Structure 1
Amino acid sequence: MTGTDRRGAAMALIEAELDRAVADLARMVAVDTRFPPGAGYGAFATLMEELLADLPLPTRRETVPDALWQVARGPARGERINLIAEAPGTGPACSLYFHVDTVCAAGGWQRDPFVLTEEDGRLYGLGTADMKGAIAAAVHALRVAQRLGLTLAYRPQLLLCTDEEGGLYPGIRHLAEQGMIAGHLLNFNGSAGPRIWGGCFGSFNLQVTVRGFAAHAADRSKHAINAIEAALPMMQAVQALRPAVAARISALPVAPGQPPLAAQIAITVAEGGTCGGQVPDRFVFLVSRRYAPEEDFATARTEIETAIRDACPAGATLDFDLIGHLTPTADPEGSHTPRWIRAVQEGFGYAPEEFVKYAAASASDSGYVQQAGVLQEINLGGLIRPGSNAHGAEEHTTRADLAALAKAILCYLAADFAPELNPELMAAPAAAAAPDPTTPNN
């Protein structure tokens, strides 16, 4: 059987044995990796070590030091365990990045978010689209490649990382800063559509703790300071910033027919109080800010803190804690992008003319990889679609997309796939033909 025949057989086998990938996904969904608090990373690493045991990908755990991510008043807890699975060897490598955390289950779920439910080809469960389904697709592709003896152009390195959904120090940042990312990078926190990634905004979450003085609910003396009531003008001050923030437009490219990307600010969490008979002495609210690459993070943070301090009533006190931050991702297109586009065409069946380059106001931890100076090129794929409701109730992907992504990954890694789009292969003849600078001229 030729290499091309093996690849064709592999594509068929992906479809024929998709049940195994679905079963893997069910086990992943059952492990609670919600952030906050992100307490399930160890359990998820254990599961993945089991699922990867039959592949020639030795695994190791890399834990982010506590001092880098812990915030005394923050919501995160538990070890930040990242799992790296890497094929041994010396050839060119390709890192496949996945974050293992999910958002918290939104209100409105009609199904158990931690039980994979299949209905009419749809796979419902927390993290199915963002992004445990992508992990299942990659593992499925690698199993099929191994079973058929498919020669790979790249040594795969799987990076299963923590705290993308809001942490202060995402796992991929730590791995990048420690020089642990091999080769070039594919990020699977993106769309199942025909997209060329044009970068994205940064985001940060600022936790505001308002403190008052507890007393009987009937006490109207000056000693009773209601933290919730004290917070109201402060939250209104955040709302008052919205028009000015939204007027900050980015030059990043947008999808056809969409308006320019604008900065955003919102209050996304608010909690406090104990019972109806007591003046609450503590109230916490979270300000979420998405900032354009053209903006300065420190300036954006100071603007919020100043507005809140100016609105703080007498007697109340404040604490500010940065509990999450993702930096903007600059234009990540590079020499491997045409090969990834071709692989997505093969897997999902898109035509070349369907691909469009655009950015997003959503944030990614890929900016930290660029910031560390490890890589500037980062290609994006995944399972998210407009109707998949990622981050919302009834999140889902489909069997068809799970198979399509597995095919795209397999094609991209396969040695016989589009060799003319393999930058390493194209560079080899040029390097061989170049004169040896150590050889004297005759």
Structure 2
Amino acid sequence: MLRNSRLNSALEKIADDTDQITDDMQRMLAVDTCFPPGNGYGQFADLITQLLTQMNFSCQRVSVPEHLWQAPDGSAQGERVNVLATLNSGAAENCNLYFHTDTVPAGDGWRFPPLALTVAEGKLYGRGAADMKGTIVAAMAAVRAAQACNLPLRFNPVFLLCTDEEGGLYPGIRYLAEQQLFSGHLLSFNGGAVPRIWAGCFGSIDLKVVITGRSAHSGDPLLGVNAIEAALPLMNALYQLKGEVEQRTSAMPSPPHYQGQPLTSLLTLAAAHGGSKGSTIPERFELLINRRYAPEEAFDDVWQELTQCIDQAMDGSRALDVSLQLIGHLAPVADPYGPHWPRWQAALSQGFGFPREAFKPWGSSTSSDMGWVQQAGIQEILLGGLARPDNRIHAADEFTTMADVIALSQSILAYLADDFQPTQGI
């Protein structure tokens, strides 16, 4: 419920701010922050510091020490620069607005330049438009409207612009949380434009297995050890384990599109690389395993099960060496609900027009770096964002819409505004 015309004016101002929204989006998408490797974080930090300083934010750059994030396979490269930007509005409480600055690599199949904003077909195309540079743009528009209308804020907005969410070994938000560089509740924009009460999410492990054999001519293989063939018992054992793992269900409520089916633990043989040509026995084979584990499962148990499966499958193998590399880990999120959620629900209703009765709690077997925030002592985590089932996040031609950016921005503004009063009992 809106209490005065000043808040109404600020909300309307966001809808008239499309030129600045478009310009901000274009500038952010043009910086390649894909992970791997993640070597564009410094350039993006320069841009975001410039933009937020103009809005009277105080910006602090925080780099994650290299020994924490450097993956064994060398896939991560470049300084891990996070930006902690605070706007002191005189409010008594902070609200931390979390964004990850990395994207997945552009990949193939694009109709439009991935590292640029293309406005076409009523959509805003570009890598990161929805996940999640567009959410940074929306939050900036909300603060800009508040400042233009001299709107008092209930919370001081603190932007946490963080590295390595996309499967990194040591995400930036984990480091900020563990170093206690921010306090107060947290609003994560790694979610969707849906009336959802976040019930949590699974953890994720990326484990690379490297099998070493001995190269030889395939026409004279006597002294060779075929690394791919040596891996066949392992792949069979992992496929059998996959069947066992995916029988385990979580008590976390499943998404609506599951139609009542439960969330289950998952094991995926995600990538396999080996060999070069038909005349050579392959000396090296790499297998990437992704394991999604529910909050009810302990990491140590999951890790032990995986490593025992690998050890038993490769026992007696002709392989000269079998090495394991943990190259990515996100902890699960459990029960992030808290006292600020009703206000955020009302704010989402204000921006997107969601009816009160549409909000339902559900979790996901996808993963988030918010698990590390919980482990550092912050339990309540609000969730919003621009994701929709059809906007091709992580695929070619990723997009969002101006309507969703404006709606998210209006939701953020309502939440932050002191004059916003949620409908009683929502």
Alignment-derived partner of residue 184 in structure 2: 183
Deviation, 1:74, is: 4.1
Alignment-derived partner of residue 248 in structure 1: 248
Q: Is the 8 A contact 1:200 1:362 kept in 2?
A: yes
Alignment-derived partner of residue 306 in structure 2: 304
Query: What's the C-alpha RMSD, in Å, of the aligned pairs?
Result: 1.9
1:166 corresponds to 2:170: no
Deviation, 1:387, is: 0.9
Q: Is the 8 A contact 1:74 1:321 kept in 2?
A: no
Q: Which moved more, 1:396-405 or 1:85-94?
A: 85-94
Q: Is the 8 A contact 1:265 1:288 kept in 2?
A: yes
Letter in 1 for 2:200: G
Q: Is the 8 A contact 2:221 2:281 kept in 1?
A: no
1:381 corresponds to 2:384: yes
The 1:136–1:90 alpha-carbon spacing in structure 2 relative to 1, beyond 3 Å, is closer
Letter in 2 for 1:411: A
Deviation, 1:91, is: 2.2
Deviation, 1:269, is: 2.2
Q: Is the 8 A contact 1:62 1:82 kept in 2?
A: yes
Deviation, 1:35, is: 1.4
Q: What are the within-5 Å matches in structure 2 for residues 27-426 of structure 1?
A: 27-88=27-88, 91-221=92-222, 223-256=223-256, 257-312=259-314, 313-373=317-377, 375-418=378-421
Q: Which moved more, 1:85-94 or 1:335-344?
A: 85-94
Across the two proteins, how many residue pairs are aligned to each other? 419
Deviation, 1:5, is: 1.6
CA distance in 2 between partners of 1:199 and 1:323 (Å): 23
Letter in 1 for 2:5: D
Alignment-derived partner of residue 18 in structure 1: 18
Deviation, 1:294, is: 1.0
| Structure 1 unaligned regions, length at least 5 | 422-442
**What's the secondary structure of 1:188's corresponding residue?**
strand
CA distance in 2 between partners of 1:85 and 1:315 (Å): 51
Deviation, 1:419, is: 6.8
Q: Is the 8 A contact 1:3 1:151 kept in 2?
A: no
Deviation, 1:325, is: 0.7
Q: Is the 8 A contact 1:151 1:415 kept in 2?
A: yes
Deviation, 1:209, is: 1.1
Deviation, 1:393, is: 2.1
Letter in 2 for 1:190: G
Q: Is the 8 A contact 1:255 1:356 kept in 2?
A: no
Q: Is the 8 A contact 1:121 1:400 kept in 2?
A: no
Q: Is the 8 A contact 2:225 2:318 kept in 1?
A: no
**What's the secondary structure of 1:8's corresponding residue?**
helix
Deviation, 1:132, is: 0.9
Deviation, 1:275, is: 4.1
Q: Is the 8 A contact 1:113 1:126 kept in 2?
A: yes
**What's the secondary structure of 1:285's corresponding residue?**
strand
CA distance in 2 between partners of 1:155 and 1:258 (Å): 40
CA distance in 2 between partners of 1:33 and 1:309 (Å): 37
Deviation, 1:420, is: 8.0
Deviation, 1:392, is: 1.9
CA distance in 2 between partners of 1:314 and 1:298 (Å): 29
**What's the secondary structure of 1:52's corresponding residue?**
helix
Deviation, 1:407, is: 0.4
Deviation, 1:273, is: 2.9
CA distance in 1 between partners of 2:422 and 2:111 (Å): 47
CA distance in 2 between partners of 1:213 and 1:346 (Å): 64
Q: Which moved more, 1:210-219 or 1:346-355?
A: 210-219
Deviation, 1:90, is: 6.6
> Identity of aligned pairs, percent?
49
Deviation, 1:103, is: 1.6
The 1:419–1:20 alpha-carbon spacing in structure 2 relative to 1, beyond 3 Å, is same
Q: Is the 8 A contact 2:247 2:265 kept in 1?
A: yes
**What's the secondary structure of 1:390's corresponding residue?**
coil
**What's the secondary structure of 2:192's corresponding residue?**
coil
**What's the secondary structure of 1:118's corresponding residue?**
strand
